[in-house]
Amino acid sequence: QVLILDFGSQYTQLIARRVRELNIYSEIKPFSSLPSNLDAYQAVILSGSPYSVRAEDAPHPDLEKIKGVKPLLGICYGAQYLAHFNGGNVAPSATREYGRANLSTVLNEDVFLDGISAGSQVWMSHSDTIKQLPENGVLLASTHDVENAAYRIKGEETYGIQFHPEVYHTKDGSKILENFLVKIAGIKQDWTPKAFIETTINELKETIGNEQVILGLSGGVDSSVAAMLLHRAIGSRLHCIFVNNGLLRKNEFNSVLEQYKDLGLNVKGVDASARFLEALKGESDPEGKRKIIGRTFIDVFDDESQMVENAKWLAQGTIYPDRIESVSASGGPSATIKSHHNVGGLPDYMKLKIVEPLQLLFKDEVRRVGRSLGMPSDILGRHPFPGPGLGIRILGDITEEKVTMLQEVDAIFISSLKENGLYDQVWQAGAILLPVNSVGVMGDERTYEQCVALRAVESTDGMTADWVNLPYEFLQKVSNTIINRVKGVNRVVYDISSKPPATIEWE
């Protein structure tokens, strides 16, 4: 496996993804806490960083146990760091070097750049540059503006590149990483979903032994795949709880429950709709609603867990991006690990041990594992849906009538996306009930009814998003169907805001 030392670059997670796409397992650790079991790693990659190596407070870890011992690749800051501390010279660049560049010279005497030719597009993002290589440095490639774009250290398996092989715009980036990891470090490309499933099931069997585990299913991809892995490992000793908070999509509770049962899961559906609606009565503040929904979920989940005799474990569908320790500005790891939003904040008195079988995976890897487990594509391809559900898509206070109205609107929108082959092209879609009445005319009658907004976004991680350019004819048809079929709605608008500055949800 590969160790990626994070110096705080915005691209560190991408490095891990690219490596894993090569079917090689990689792990990110903050530069400030080198793992003690270095023997477990076959190669090390140093990430970029917002720092300048010349700054006193910049990350300066001791690499004595790594450099010259293991294959080592420094990217951007990493490359400058290796140069700076080995007698090279790093200084501010005369021109800003951001964005697209092309390799002008490639010296192919080393397998590192096998298959890469001059002209290959690379992506730069740096303000310092390596003016002079260390004395034992060997130049491997240059661009028009950056002479020392790639180099190696003589007599070692140490390499540095100024550009970012992990970003999509570096056309041969994966090839370079593959050359380094496979040809130089000799790592086998055997990290596959199948291998992951096998190892994980064995680990789960060993960790859990004969004890009982509870898991909150949400209908989403992560908790469903986590449940399937655990089910394979411990069978009916996994007790799944699927709570209906009354704010799910139309018919979702029953259809998802049936799907889970078909998969053989030991699942209990708990319809707590009335309890949630009662608790939400009269609350219109977005944060207030979120808090009530979160608290009520914990109460319901706690009540249900008590009924599982001898439960010792709580399983969660936490995935890798939820867990990565980020590097704080002070250089130390800030160690903020997000708790999984759907079961986050369970009270301490539950005294359950936590098991998180997906904690090493990215979202697309979770889907691959699910596919390999034979799970149906409508579970794996399901759009993300927020824990507080329609509760944060009904602006203002929540009533049963409003929930039903929004469920109808949402169902028309989502089924139309599916019927028109658009569902899988969209990262997430839904409808929002606005607290706005407007005048309309139906037949010869004046109406004064509510307005709904439709939202469809494309994204890769929910952190940034853009609205989807859905065909006008499609929107026209959906709007017509909604207004004709859903009583109380006389106006439909389409949200064309990106994130940032807007967010995906309206509350």
504 binds ligand XMP (CB under 6 A): yes
Q: 138 phi and psi, to 5 degrees?
A: -120, 125
Q: What's the rounded Cα separation, in Å, for the pair 226 and 207?
A: 15
**Residue 210 burial (C-beta neighbours within 10 Å; 0-12, 13-18, 19+):** exposed
Give the N- to C-terminal CA distance of the chain in Å, as an integer: 41
142 is in an annotated binding site: no
> Which tokens go with 480?
């017509």
Q: What's the rounded Cα separation, in Å, for the pair 126 and 425?
A: 34
222 is in an annotated binding site: yes
Q: How far is the CB of 415 from ligand XMP (least distance, A)?
A: 19
Q: 38 phi and psi, to 5 degrees?
A: -55, -25
Among 13, 388, 434, 455, binds ligand XMP (CB under 6 A): 388
The CA-atom distances, in angstroms, between 112 and each of 18, 179, 182, 242 are: 16, 5, 10, 51
Is 61 or 384 the residue whose CB approaches ligand XMP more closely? 384
219 is in an annotated binding site: yes
Is 321 or 462 the residue whose CB approaches ligand XMP more closely? 462
396 binds ligand XMP (CB under 6 A): no
DSSP structure class, residue 70: B
391 binds ligand XMP (CB under 6 A): no
Among 284, 462, 474, 475, binds ligand XMP (CB under 6 A): 462
At 286, which helix (H) or strand (E)? helix 286-306
- Using CB under 6 A, which of the segments 42-50, 281-289, 310-318, 385-393 binds ligand XMP? 385-393
Examine the residue annotation and report whether 166 is marked as an active-site residue of this protein: yes
- Using CB under 6 A, which of the segments 27-35, 193-201, 384-392, 434-442 binds ligand XMP? 384-392
Interstrand relation of 158-161 and 150-153 (parallel, antiparallel or unpaired): antiparallel
Dihedral over alpha carbons 376, 381, 385, 390 (to 10 degrees): -70
- Using CB under 6 A, which of the segments 34-42, 176-184, 481-489, 496-504 binds ligand XMP? 496-504
397 binds ligand XMP (CB under 6 A): no
273 is in an annotated binding site: no
Is 29 or 341 the residue whose CB approaches ligand XMP more closely? 341
Answer whether 454's CB lies under 8 Å from 478's CB.
Answer: yes
387 binds ligand XMP (CB under 6 A): yes
Beta-carbon contacts of 449 under 8 Å, excluding residues fewer than 6 positions away, are 437, 438, 440, 488, 489, 490, 491
Q: How far is the CB of 410 from ligand XMP (least distance, A)?
A: 13
Catalytic residue among 166, 252, 365, 408: 166
Q: How far is the CB of 323 from ligand XMP (least distance, A)?
A: 16
Among 342, 416, 450, 490, binds ligand XMP (CB under 6 A): 342
Sequence ranges of the binding site for ATP: 218-224
* Catalytic residue list: 76, 164, 166
Sequence ranges of the binding site: 218-224
What residue ranges bind ligand XMP (CB under 6 A)?
341-342, 384, 386-388, 428, 462, 499, 503-505
